[in-house]
Amino acid sequence: MCASVPITYNFENQMHLRRYLFYIMMAATLPLFAQKNATAKNADKPFTVVIDAGHGGHDPGALGRLTQEKKLNLDVSLLLGKMIEEGMPDVKVYYTRKTDVFLTLQERANFVNKHNADLFICVHTNASDSKDAVGAETFVLGIDKMASNLAVAMRENAVMLLEDNYETTYQGFDPNSVDSYIMFELMQDQYFDQSLQFATQVQQQFSGSLKRADRGVRQAGFWVLHKSACPSVLVEMGFISNPEEERFLASKEGKEAVATDLYNAFVTHKNALDKKNGKLPQAEQKQVKEPARSDSLEGRTSAEAPQPDATTSATSAQDLGRSSVERSKKPEYRIQIFAVSQKLKPNDPTFKGLKNCSYTRDGKFYKYTYGNETDYDAAVKLHKKVKEKFPDSFIVAFLDGKQILVKDARKM
């Protein structure tokens, strides 16, 4: 007679097991859903692209000093869609949103599937705790062991927490739980190859014509890509948390440049698909639209932005009295103390006693700086003193009246 051995159940382990089995089931059924959707598509229908401006409404996304992510995403999405509509009339363009409204992740995916999209482009803007983070990156659905990729997916998926009963809507998926992302590791995405091809084209455009810092093509578990039954990518245009990159993205020229690179990537991708399918595309015979940017952007990285107005002194003409020969020899380092929506008087208490502050006009904002050093070490010492009054201040660099990257200034 065998002795009975008591069996103890660990509730937490049971929950993990059930969740794991649920994700396996989800991974197994997704290809069937995608195959059904693909079969339903009419081979003769126009090529359809859905453009999704991330965030919106009461969900602002990442916040910068000048603007909000939801606005940048919408502006670039509308520009991109207009370029496709005008340059490729054989393509049907749909937008998940054209105004500042809130949409759930599931609503966005449902919109894609409703219109039987052939390509889904999600437009987003990145953010980081570090102001030095810079560059563009494009994500496809999948799972990567890099913590930074998981962090981006968690941040973008966290929008579902703004919804009532999100646990039911998203079938128990928890955007803040690492365990929830197991499903993306298990699933086999039949659209992966086409998604990867388009994502690669996007990054080549960004790092080529714009000479942006290339963060590459990455994989991450985005719910909105997971539920969209077509090739899909999520583009992070740059870092709103980087002051110089935000300035570029917020400028009219920067938005047009980013949208044009996305358009060029789309044309290349569409032409390649048409050739593969034995079709002669209308867009093949058209010149790929050149980036709408001035020579001032050539050779710059993504963080460098054109200045709408020349630097003007608030209280002193010291800069203007300097000859152009002297100004071109060395870059100038200043301490940016704040940005406000209206011009201040020299004795305004906002300056906290600092004298001879200068400003640059950037759109509707006046960005005030203090000091003017040609030696970086001197600027660092000055910044330490200024930080006592303005903790959020930082060093900026100028050359011939135009702002440049501090790291580029130091190389000079």
pLDDT tens across 243-262, in order?
A: 999 999 999 999 999 999 99
Question: How close are the terminal C-alpha atoms of the chain, in Å?
Answer: 87
For the domain covering 11-297, report its CATH number: 3.40.630.40
pLDDT at position 233: 95
CA dist., res. 58 & res. 102, Å (int): 6
Q: Identify the segments of the chain with pLDDT beneath 50.
A: 1-15, 17, 20-25, 27-41, 145-146, 182, 185-188, 283-287, 290-328
Residue 30's closest CA among 109, 105, 96?
A: 109
Which residues belong to CATH 3.40.630.40 in the chain? 11-297
Q: Where in the chain is the domain with CATH 3.30.70.1070?
A: 312-411
Distance CA 56, CA 98 (A): 10
The one-letter code for the residue type at 337 is I
The per-residue DSSP string of 48-80 comes to EEEEEE--BTTB--SB-SS-BHHHHHHHHHHHH
pLDDT at 20: 46
| Residues contacting residue 29 through CB under 8 Å, at least 6 positions apart | none
Distance CA 314, CA 202 (A): 42
Q: What is the pLDDT of residue 145?
A: 42
Contact 288, 267 (CB under 8 A): yes
Instruction: Report the distance separating Cα 62 and Cα 356, nearest Å.
Output: 33
DSSP state of 332: E
The whole-number pLDDT of residue 50 equals 97
Residue found under tokens 């020579």:
295
Burial 354-393 (b: 16+ CB within 10 A, else e): beebbbbebeebbbbbbbbbeeeeebeebbeebeeebeeb
Global confidence as pTM? 0.57
pLDDT score, position 65: 94
312-411: what CATH class?
alpha beta
Both tokens of 92, joined, read 């049907």
What's the token pair of residue 324?
């152009």
d(CA 245, CA 254): 9
163 and 104 Cβ atoms separated by less than 8 Å: yes
Rounded Cα distance between 150 and 158, Å, is 12
What is d(CA 47, CA 65) in angstroms, rounded to the nearest whole number?
A: 39
State which amino acid sits at residue 394.
Answer: F
Residues 61, 58: Cα–Cα separation, whole Å: 9
| DSSP code at position 343 | P
| Cα 136 from Cα 237, distance rounded (Å) | 5
DSSP 8-state code for residue 125: E
- The per-residue DSSP string of 168-191 comes to HHTTT--TT-GGGGHHHHH---TT
- Measured CA to CA, the distance from residue 135 to residue 328 in angstroms comes to 28
Residue 190 has a pLDDT of 67
* Residues 226-243 pLDDT 10s: 788 899 999 999 999 999
Query: At residue 180, what is the residue type?
Result: S
Is the Cβ–Cβ distance between 351 and 381 less than 8 Å?
Answer: no
Question: Which residue's entry shows tokens 């962090």?
Answer: 151
Q: What is the largest CA-CA distance in the chain?
A: 104
Distance CA 373, CA 68 (A): 32
